[in-house]
Amino acid sequence: MATEHFTTEEGAQGTSGSFGLLVRYLRHVPVLRLLIIPTLLMAAVVAGAYQLFIWLSGEIAKCSSEHSCAPREIVLGLSLEPSLALLCALAAFVTLLKALQWNLFETVGQVASRGLLREMLQGVARTRTTFFDEYPSGKIINRLVKDSDSLRLFGPIRLGDSMAGIVELIVVSVMMSFASAAAALLSVPTFIFFLWLQRNIAPMLQKTLVLRSARFGEVLHRETDVIEGVRSFVLYGQLSALMERLASSVYRFMQMHFLRGGIEAWGRCLTEIAVAVHSSAVLGAVYVGIHYGHVTPVVGVVIITGSFRLGTIFSWLTWSFGLLFETAGHCRRVFEYVDLPIEEAEEGNTPVPCSAAPGALEGDLQFVGYTMSYRDATPTILDDLSLTIARGSKVGLVGRTGAGKSSLVQSLFRMVHVKSGDIRVGAASLLAMPLDSARSLFAVVPQDPYLFEGTIRSNIDRLGEFTDGEITEALRAVQLPLDTSMALREGGTNLSLGQRQLLCLARVMLTKRPFVIMDEPTSGVDTITDAIMQSVLRTALHGRTIITIAHRLETLSRMDRVIELEDGRVVRDGTPAEILKDLTPAELA
């Protein structure tokens, strides 16, 4: 059950199309095309060496048959010396080329991954915000860090190695066909068998790869059990059960590891058998050829050497293809993030843009037959909501937990899926505006504000829009006697909840956005902070439209109007006095 859950999350369904993914990787990252340069150079060296070898064998054979040169002279004699020197030079060149190749792999990997990582981050940043509710941050970070890093480290190497293997296979086959077309033809069935094997092994390897990461996820989960839940297990005398659960998930992970190793070993074993059969056939053919005088011994040696070389290349390719399919798996996971749909694409029905003439944004905020859910296929939350919030008024939103208060606010930020209807600001449709313009109409004081590591200034004014004097003035207005350069810890943990809310209020004051959304904390804010906030609402924020998700009677009593939601609909709407008289504590959830 747990494995199924993890497997679905890891996307086991995407086991096909390794080749397509690799092609996309190559096309998507142009710098990868550089890998072809060392590959072709290496192919030229292999072809040259092979040709030289054939020529040398012929020369040696000529010397021996014509008895024109003694064995010592053959090696050291003038005619052979330059060729031997050339062979040595080729060997040195190959070594140098290898060193350059590894350098290129590293550099290409760096360049390629930097671009891909940027695209992944953009994909995540531009997608719907509910994505972060559905996927735990650990999983998102795992992809951003681990998959992109694996691609950086191994992508170019595995691509380059496999390309080099394929090119060498072609070169050796062509060189062999010059020596003997029949011998070259004998490698065709081996080649077909090899392709068939890879086609069958690829999905198996990818599937085990996905299952392995799923089971690894399970192991991590069990480890969290041990860290987080050990006290409860000890209390109920169940420690051995906890350890058994951990051991069994480790065992299941290792099982998948071994299965993958087994599949790879079988693939290599079958390739070795095919290569052995191929070499025996070539040996047989050479023997028959020499026997009947169709093949000279020198050509025979060349063919046999080539066929052994082919065997090594096939074994090498089986190995490197296995790793390449793993890289395809990383590509799939990386491209899934690159391809995340932008949030507007998942927003649903966007109404026809209506007038946005100057001054069009001056009027009231209006929900018109507005129906929304969080995703296309999830239940409707706000249902045919029609509501007008007068410009400049202070409105309190109440309702039981799950009534739809936060959903209403999320709708204003356009973070949900719109099924029908519209939200208007004056004469303009909020849903038809560019997303950034729509969001820039609203300022927010969240229930539990999260502040970033930095200073008060960097948190209040991330874009550097305000002077120190303006910020200090705003801090004074919310009665926070803090220095703008005061250091804040990640999350703002060195300030109290009330102070963090007041800091947000100071930011709201500075931004001058016409609509202010306040999510009142259910608890944790003292009466002094509350009094400061209420006074700022009346003074500095006077004239702005305030929508407060309220949990306290005192807050509601200071509003111009109170709206009660239930199951995504407005059930009561009136002055505080009208609504508060029969409000139960549960409705202030």
Ligand X SMILES: Nc1ncnc2c1ncn2[C@@H]1O[C@H](COP(=O)(O)OP(=O)(O)O)[C@@H](O)[C@H]1O
**Taking the complex as a whole, how short is the minimal distance between the CB of residue 406 and ligand X, in angstroms?**
3
* Dihedral of alpha carbons 497, 503, 507, 509, sign: positive
Please choose which of ligand X, Mg ion, none residue 403 contacts, taking the beta carbon within 5 to 8 angstroms, the exact cut-off set by kind.
ligand X
Instruction: Give the residue with the Cβ less far from Mg ion, 409 or 509.
Output: 409
- Which structure tokens are listed for 404? 């739809």
CA atoms within 13 A of residue 470's CA, in its CB half-sphere: 13
Would you count residue 406 as binding Mg ion (CB under 5 A)? yes
User: Which position's Cβ is nearest Mg ion?
Assistant: 406
Instruction: Give the residue with the Cβ less far from ligand X, 329 or 568.
Output: 568
Please choose which of ligand X, Mg ion, none residue 402 contacts, taking the beta carbon within 5 to 8 angstroms, the exact cut-off set by kind.
ligand X
Q: Distance from CA of residue 343 to its chain's centroid?
A: 17
CB-CB contact of 222 with 243 (8 Å): no
**Taking the complex as a whole, how short is the minimal distance between the CB of residue 567 and ligand X, in angstroms?**
9
**Taking the complex as a whole, how short is the minimal distance between the CB of residue 133 and ligand X, in angstroms?**
4
Q: Compose the 45-64 pattern: x for residues touching Mg ion by CB under 5 A, - for all others.
A: --------------------
**Taking the complex as a whole, how short is the minimal distance between the CB of residue 368 and ligand X, in angstroms?**
19
Please choose which of ligand X, Mg ion, none residue 25 contacts, taking the beta carbon within 5 to 8 angstroms, the exact cut-off set by kind.
none
**Taking the complex as a whole, how short is the minimal distance between the CB of residue 409 and Mg ion, in angstroms?**
8
Please choose which of ligand X, Mg ion, none residue 511 contacts, taking the beta carbon within 5 to 8 angstroms, the exact cut-off set by kind.
none
Please choose which of Mg ion, ligand X, none residue 492 contacts, taking the beta carbon within 5 to 8 angstroms, the exact cut-off set by kind.
none
* Dihedral of alpha carbons 273, 279, 282, 286, sign: negative
Instruction: Give the residue with the Cβ less far from ligand X, 186 or 397.
Output: 397
CA nearest neighbour of 474 among 443, 520, 448, 438:
443
CB-CB contact of 25 with 334 (8 Å): no
β 454-455/487-488 pair status: antiparallel
The CA distance from 57 to 278, in Å, is 23
Measured from the Cβ of residue 43, the count of other Cβ atoms closer than 10 Å reads 20
Instruction: Work out the angle at residue 575's Cα, subtended by the Cα atoms of residues 570 and 577, and round it to the nearest 5 degrees.
Output: 115
Number of residues that bind Mg ion (CB under 5 A): 1
Number of residues in the chain? 589
Q: Give the H/E segment covering residue 75.
A: helix 71-76
Instruction: Give the residue with the Cβ less far from ligand X, 267 or 404.
Output: 404
Backbone phi and psi for residue 157, each to the nearest 5 degrees, phi listed first: -60, -50
CB-CB contact of 114 with 156 (8 Å): no
Q: Candidates 30-38, 203-211, 298-306, 403-411 — which segment interacts with Mg ion by CB under 5 A?
A: 403-411
Instruction: Give the residue with the Cβ less far from ligand X, 167 or 588.
Output: 588
The residue to which tokens 């909840």 are assigned: 497
Instruction: Give the residue with the Cβ less far from Mg ion, 393 or 406.
Output: 406
- Which structure tokens are listed for 276? 């052995």
Please choose which of Mg ion, ligand X, none residue 374 contacts, taking the beta carbon within 5 to 8 angstroms, the exact cut-off set by kind.
ligand X
Output DSSP code: residue 271: H
Please choose which of ligand X, Mg ion, none residue 407 contacts, taking the beta carbon within 5 to 8 angstroms, the exact cut-off set by kind.
ligand X
- Which structure tokens are listed for 215? 């089971």
**Taking the complex as a whole, how short is the minimal distance between the CB of residue 381 and ligand X, in angstroms?**
4
Instruction: Give the residue with the Cβ less far from ligand X, 132 or 196.
Output: 132
Please choose which of Mg ion, ligand X, none residue 416 contacts, taking the beta carbon within 5 to 8 angstroms, the exact cut-off set by kind.
none
Please choose which of ligand X, Mg ion, none residue 372 contacts, taking the beta carbon within 5 to 8 angstroms, the exact cut-off set by kind.
none
Please choose which of ligand X, Mg ion, none residue 442 contacts, taking the beta carbon within 5 to 8 angstroms, the exact cut-off set by kind.
none
Long-range contacts of the stretch 468-474 (C-beta < 8 A, 24+): 470/510, 471/506, 471/510, 474/506, 474/507, 474/509, 474/510
Instruction: Give the residue with the Cβ less far from Mg ion, 163 or 550.
Output: 550
Interface with ligand X (CB under 6 A): 130, 133, 374, 378, 381, 399, 401-407
Terminal alpha carbon distance of the chain: 35
Query: Radius of gyration (Cα) for the chain, nearest Å?
Result: 36
**Taking the complex as a whole, how short is the minimal distance between the CB of residue 402 and ligand X, in angstroms?**
4
Show contacts with Mg ion in window 69-88 (CB under 5 A).
none
CB-CB contact of 201 with 267 (8 Å): yes
DSSP assignment string, 413-473:
TT-SEEEEEEEEETTEEGGGS-HHHHHTTEEEE-SS--B-SEEHHHHH-TT--S-HHHHHH
The CA distance from 414 to 211, in Å, is 37
**Taking the complex as a whole, how short is the minimal distance between the CB of residue 404 and Mg ion, in angstroms?**
9
**Taking the complex as a whole, how short is the minimal distance between the CB of residue 378 and ligand X, in angstroms?**
5
Instruction: Give the residue with the Cβ less far from Mg ion, 43 or 403.
Output: 403
Output DSSP code: residue 566: E
Q: Candidates 68-76, 181-189, 399-407, 565-573 — which segment interacts with Mg ion by CB under 5 A?
A: 399-407
Please choose which of Mg ion, ligand X, none residue 267 contacts, taking the beta carbon within 5 to 8 angstroms, the exact cut-off set by kind.
none
Q: Candidates 164-172, 398-406, 418-426, 460-468 — which segment interacts with Mg ion by CB under 5 A?
A: 398-406
Instruction: Give the residue with the Cβ less far from ligand X, 402 or 454.
Output: 402
Would you count residue 447 as binding Mg ion (CB under 5 A)? no
Instruction: Give the residue with the Cβ less far from Mg ion, 305 or 447.
Output: 447
Please choose which of ligand X, Mg ion, none residue 109 contacts, taking the beta carbon within 5 to 8 angstroms, the exact cut-off set by kind.
none
Instruction: Give the residue with the Cβ less far from ligand X, 327 or 411.
Output: 411
- Which structure tokens are listed for 406? 């936060």
* Dihedral of alpha carbons 181, 184, 186, 192, sign: negative
Instruction: Give the residue with the Cβ less far from Mg ion, 361 or 397.
Output: 397
CA nearest neighbour of 300 among 64, 69, 48, 58:
58
Instruction: Work out the angle at residue 362's Cα, subtended by the Cα atoms of residues 358 and 363, and round it to the nearest 5 degrees.
Output: 130
Please choose which of ligand X, Mg ion, none residue 363 contacts, taking the beta carbon within 5 to 8 angstroms, the exact cut-off set by kind.
none
**Taking the complex as a whole, how short is the minimal distance between the CB of residue 578 and Mg ion, in angstroms?**
24
The CA distance from 326 to 186, in Å, is 31
Contacts with Mg ion, residue ranges (CB under 5 A): 406
